[in-house]
Amino acid sequence: MLKIIADLKKKHTERVFEALELAKYIGPGLIVTVGFIDPGNWACNLAAGSSFGYSLLWIVTLGTLMLMVLQHNAAHLGIVTGLCLSEAARKYLSPRLSGPLIWSAMAASVSTSLAEILGGALALQMLFKIPVRLGAVMVTALVLYLLLSNSYRRLEKYIIGFVSLIGLSFIYELKLAPVDWGQAAAGLVTPSIPHGSMLIVMSVLGAVVMPHNLFLHSEIIQSRQWNLAEERIKNKQLKYEFADTLLSMLVGWAINSAMIIMAAATFFKAGAPVAELGQARDMLAPLLGRFSALVFGVALLFSGIASSVTSGMAGGSIFAGLSDEPLNLKDSHSRLGMLISLLGALALVFFIADPFRGLLISQMALSVQLPFTIFLQLYLTSSKKVMGRYANGPWTLLLLGSIGLAVSFLNIKLLLSLF
């Protein structure tokens, strides 16, 4: 009996230590999660829920499953090689090919930052009546301060805090809304494309997989600075990375789903489709109360700030790769990349008359670049020269290739539909 008790205690202790060890690996995935709960996603999700109720929830489920596979694969590149996508492209492709690919990813980072900064500026306009352009300057200044004055690990904690606050905000909104949970549960797993919904279907799916997130994940997964020369440590990180990615993508799935459910339970039920973020905030007050509108605006502000930080980090990582360097928030190349991404986006804000249309244009630009990033990643992670024995097997290659083709087709179709 004593031996059985001792064995049980030993197993319990081992589980506790394993849980504590796993906690050390949680973080990089949550940084990436911010990228697909950004203001662009807000616009797509609110349009989906307010126009078609719960019927398009399955798109978020499908998109998240696809994203899990792609982000997991990008993280493996970083762990196995110690290189981010940008560095690996520079090392394993000819300059004629790698240069245009990396610069196109840099342009995608600017486009992403445009959507994030606009979202934060729109939130300041909702909350404090600050003009959008002035709000964009304020958001950019705050984001640059966070990036240039803090280490990565501190930024990681801030962003995880932002994600938590966004999630809590939508839990509050859902608590007030008259949700039909039966219909919501069915919508999450039942494919349906109502008449006239194809553009929104493609928008929701296309907004989930973003080029800068693939570059960023391959970079920040290396932030723990483990000794990856030891196979034992490398295998352990590969194991725990999946847990981090799975948990983080599920958090993103829950928040995106909550947006659609909230919109379906309020705006769709009231017969009021949403065409602008500000319109959504104004309509929430009479439907759920004034405090709900305030919560909506605050959550959007957190989303804009947090996603601007991650898009700036992605810009720094991509640009540093041109010099065969990793992301280093104190290095001049990384800082220059962050400045190009954020200040380039801020400059574009001053040429945009319609902020909501600006969000659409930014997503359109991402659609152009996305196929190049996906197939760059597939080439690198399938190459034994790059990945050694960790290269993609035939089935993994088939799965990733199918996802790449599907996402590319839908994004290009979305781009063409906007003209």
Domain count, the chain: 1
pLDDT at 243: 84
How many Å apart are CA 369 and CA 407, to the nearest integer? 12
Q: For 256-276, write each residue's pLDDT tens digit.
A: 999 999 999 998 988 888 877
- 43 domain residue, yes or no: yes
Per-residue pLDDT band at 104 (split at 50, 70, 90) = very high
- 361 domain residue, yes or no: yes
pLDDT of 17 higher than 60: no
The token pair at 345 is: 């986006």
Question: Which CATH number does the domain housing residue 317 bear?
Answer: 1.20.1740.10
Q: For 240-259, write each residue's pLDDT tens digit.
A: 788 888 888 998 999 999 99
- 11 domain residue, yes or no: no
Q: For 389-399, write each residue's pLDDT tens digit.
A: 999 999 999 99
- 119 domain residue, yes or no: yes
How many Å apart are CA 37 and CA 251, to the nearest integer? 10
Q: How far apart are the first and last CA of the chain?
A: 75
How many Å apart are CA 210 and CA 30, to the nearest integer? 15
Q: Which residue type sits at 135?
A: G
Q: Return the CA Rg of the chain.
A: 21
Q: For 305-329, write each residue's pLDDT tens digit.
A: 989 999 999 999 999 998 888 888 8
- 309 domain residue, yes or no: yes
**What is the CB neighbour count within 10 angstroms for residue 231?**
9
The token pair at 66 is: 């696809």
Mean pLDDT, range 403-417, rounded to an integer = 75
Mean pLDDT over each residue of the chain, to the nearest integer: 83
Flag the least confident range among 39-43, 55-59, 136-140. Answer: 39-43
- 177 domain residue, yes or no: yes
Which domain covers residue 113, as residue numbers? 39-417
How many Å apart are CA 281 and CA 156, to the nearest integer? 29
- 94 domain residue, yes or no: yes
Flag the least confident range among 240-244, 296-300, 410-414. Answer: 410-414
pLDDT of 19 higher than 60: no
**Torsion sign (Cα): 355, 360, 361, 362:** positive
- 12 domain residue, yes or no: no
pLDDT of 25 higher than 70: no
